[in-house]
Structure 1
Amino acid sequence: MRTTRAVPLLLATLLTATACGAQVGDADAAATTTVPRCAQSVEYREPRSAVAYEGGSADKLFALGLADKVRGYVMPPANPPVTESPWAEDYASVEMLSDDLLNRELVVDAGADLVVAGWRSGFSDERGITPELLDRLGIQSFMHTETCWNYPGFAQRVTPIEGLYEDMRRLGDIFRVPDRADAVVADMQARVAAVEAAAPRVDPPPSVFLYDSGTDRPNSAANQVPPNDIIRLAGGRNILDDIDGRWTDVGWETVVERQPEIIMILDYGDQSATEKIDFLKSLPTLRSVPAVQSDNFFVLDYNEGISGPRNIDGLERFGGYLRELRR
């Protein structure tokens, strides 16, 4: 679904300061464009001071060439170093506002006019920072479409990769760079199509279990997060694709029962990918799992697994892995 774009207001002269000294915005700032926030239509002013939460949010803005419109970013400890990003120079050009979770005081103090995050992935009822609360403060918000599937009152369900495309288009409209967004999306779509065309055709497709973390119960990827699409589009099948959710805990008995041929490791946090693999190999419970018996482990970078442009990098790498595995 494409968005509607408002016609910019044409002003012959800039409005001057009011008696109390406040400045009235110029033509571009005064114009609004209507863009969906999940399934809710919202009128957006063009942002000049955006705050991004996590690598996926910042990457989307940087991929659209919007570093000069970014006030700063919030990067929780789980996120790998920004120096590893394809947009490392853009990260270096803006301020890191916090290495903790997103909160209301932070965005207010930063003077943010737009906050980019996900529902329950940045925005949170429990921590008191939601789009509705920010609306009341006069701060705009943008939510990743991938996280909208259970957003109260305005749920929207799309596959995660389609959600990525939609985010790029919506952000392109909000920031008034729709042609740039269309070009970015077209490149992503061409790369995805190339992986799909080269995917191994086997029935049944190779089964994959994503291991995020956890000892007593593993945390993994259900069908509403990008790894599900990465696995599917590359020619595999997520063993938890029947679970309607995002990141979810399951029992080890479920993993054993579904006998994954490949285990995908989400690489982040204090425990390295190698340490996670060693842990899984050490579990007596998993000795009968084909992935463990065959030593079939694939490492997915954290920013390839959360909604963002690097999803396509992860897809291309996993597509290559599956093709090599099937030779």
Structure 2
Amino acid sequence: MRPRVFCGIAAAVALFATACSSGGSGSGDSSNGGGATQASAAGAFPVKVVDCAGKETSVKQAPKKIVTTDAAALEMLLELGAGDRIIGTGFPPGKGSLPAAVADQGAKVPVLGDTMIPKEKLLGSGADLYVDTFGPMPGMGAAGAGPTEEELKAAGIQHVLLLSTACASGPKAAKGPRTDLAEVENDVRRLGAVTGTAARAEELVGAMEKQIGEVRTATAAVPEAQRPGYFVFDFDAGTKQPMAICGKQVANAVITLAGARNVFADCEGDFKPVSWEDVVAKNPDWIQLAVRNRGSEEANRKAFDEAEAFLKSFPATQGLKAVQEGHFLRLGSEVTTIAGIRNADTVRQIAATVHPTLVKNGQ
């Protein structure tokens, strides 16, 4: 996705950090009112869904015209096979950021907003379903004030939240760090039920669980104290002040499942600006060079090279253990910090790098 796409990573998007956070379950806890969508049978309607406060509504029939807030929701729907029903999105995917299998279809989806979709455009889109990754964003002021539930209802648009990303704050938010991908999997199942693609959703979740289960089994014997410290260096957020991945961000679950230890897991919320002194104090064993997809292998390689060169030349980071030992991972931001099916692939990639004798990538 483009630098503007994701909440909390780019400097400009840091404004979203407190409101557009990735909540979800910490250890399989569905206390945020999430859980799997309720349906009497695969493909049956109505389908009951809940919001972050646990309020229940019903989707009466499979939607024919869907609008998504951003590329995260868009990608899930494309993977579920509902792409032919998507009539628009906000925060569109950047070139090269979608999986190859759905990239062409994703590129054809009309862009209704380069960032948040203007309220009037959303209400007049003709959609019958709005899949919302973020939910209300009071920290964004007027820019984050989307349509009210009453306005959506009046326009004939049903509203479904991705609970894994929209419900980090409030009384129903999960307690403690996020250590699994249960809520991401639940979102896949929810969208599968809502769009009548439940069978495909189970296939996708089954593949995620198989891959993650293999990694967890392989690394189970590694004591907590011996799990390597891991820092995600968000190069696109700028180098003046690093942005830490906190315990409630989906990346914390990805890192934990990979058998590593997020060095900033103890900070509250999902993202937090920190200082280079803070990073030095944590002295991570591994550093992920997290850059957003530039659209080509050559452009991506150049961005990774620049991120690595900065850490090697910057006085504050030259002496870090990871820098001294060349312990860098070149993994994109999108598949690490954005909730989605590819999180499971990232779990294996990280595990295969930090535990090469235990986990083989792609096997």
TM-score class normalised by the smaller sequence: 0.7 to 0.9
Distance 1:210 1:94, change over 3 A: same
- Is it true that 1:198 corresponds to 2:221 in the alignment? no
Which residue in the other structure is 2:74 paired with? 58
**Greater relative CO, 1 or 2 (CA 8 Å, sep 6+):** 2
Which residue in the other structure is 1:278 paired with? 309
Which residue in the other structure is 1:74 paired with? 90
Note the 1:22-37 alignment, pairs <5 A: 32-37=46-51
For 2:356, give the aligned amino acid. Answer: E
Which residue in the other structure is 2:274 paired with? 250
- Structure 1: which 5+ runs fail to align? 9-27
Comparing 36-45 and 225-234, the one that deviates more: 36-45
Which residue in the other structure is 1:15 paired with? none
Which of 162, 171, 185 matches 2:205? 185
Which residue in the other structure is 1:5 paired with? 39
- Is it true that 1:312 corresponds to 2:344 in the alignment? yes
Which residue in the other structure is 1:42 paired with? 57
Which residue in the other structure is 2:9 paired with? none
- How far residue 227 of structure 1 moved from its aligned partner, in angstroms, is 1.5
Structure 2 SS opposite 1:150: coil
- How far residue 235 of structure 1 moved from its aligned partner, in angstroms, is 0.7
- How far residue 321 of structure 1 moved from its aligned partner, in angstroms, is 1.2
CA distance in 1, matches of 2:357, 2:268: 29
Aligned residues: 305
Which residue in the other structure is 1:292 paired with? 323
Q: Does the 8 Å contact 1:148/1:156 carry over to 2?
A: no
- The structure whose Rg is larger is 1
- How far residue 168 of structure 1 moved from its aligned partner, in angstroms, is 0.8
Structure 1 vs Structure 2 CA RMSD: 3.0
CA distance in 1, matches of 2:191, 2:50: 10
Q: Does the 8 Å contact 2:204/2:341 carry over to 1?
A: no
CA distance in 2, matches of 1:71, 1:241: 38
Could you give the per-residue CA deviations for residues 240-263 of structure 1, whole angstroms, max 9, x where no partner exists? 111121122111111111110111
- Is it true that 1:111 corresponds to 2:133 in the alignment? no
CA distance in 1, matches of 2:183, 2:74: 16
For 1:140, give the aligned amino acid. Answer: Q
- How far residue 105 of structure 1 moved from its aligned partner, in angstroms, is 2.8
Which residue in the other structure is 1:210 paired with? 232
Distance 1:247 1:190, change over 3 A: same
- Is it true that 1:129 corresponds to 2:150 in the alignment? no
For 1:94, give the aligned amino acid. Answer: V
CA distance in 1, matches of 2:358, 2:40: 51
Distance 1:131 1:236, change over 3 A: farther
Which residue in the other structure is 2:168 paired with? 150
Comparing 140-149 and 184-193, the one that deviates more: 140-149
Structure 2 SS opposite 1:51: strand
CA distance in 1, matches of 2:92, 2:282: 33
CA distance in 1, matches of 2:152, 2:172: 16
CA distance in 1, matches of 2:39, 2:232: 40
What percentage of residue pairs aligned between the two structures are identical? 26
Could you give the per-residue CA deviations for residues 161-212 of structure 1, whole angstroms, max 9, x where no partner exists? 1111110111122112323322221121111101212237253210001111
- How far residue 151 of structure 1 moved from its aligned partner, in angstroms, is 4.0
CA distance in 2, matches of 1:130, 1:244: 29
CA distance in 2, matches of 1:166, 1:92: 26
Which residue in the other structure is 1:229 paired with? 253
CA distance in 1, matches of 2:227, 2:91: 36
Select the structure that is richer in strand: 1
Q: Does the 8 Å contact 1:207/1:239 carry over to 2?
A: yes
Comparing 279-288 and 165-174, the one that deviates more: 279-288
Could you give the per-residue CA deviations for residues 4-63 of structure 1, whole angstroms, max 9, x where no partner exists? 22689xxxxxxxxxxxxxxxxxxx9xx532112333322223321111233321111112
Structure 1 SS opposite 2:181: helix
Note the 1:159-174 alignment, pairs <5 A: 159=179, 161-174=181-194
CA distance in 1, matches of 2:315, 2:110: 47
Comparing 79-88 and 40-49, the one that deviates more: 79-88
For 2:73, give the aligned amino acid. Answer: S
Q: Does the 8 Å contact 1:168/1:185 carry over to 2?
A: yes
- How far residue 139 of structure 1 moved from its aligned partner, in angstroms, is 2.2
Q: Does the 8 Å contact 1:102/1:122 carry over to 2?
A: no
- Structure 2: which 5+ runs fail to align? 1-34, 295-301
Distance 1:134 1:68, change over 3 A: same
Q: Does the 8 Å contact 2:232/2:290 carry over to 1?
A: yes
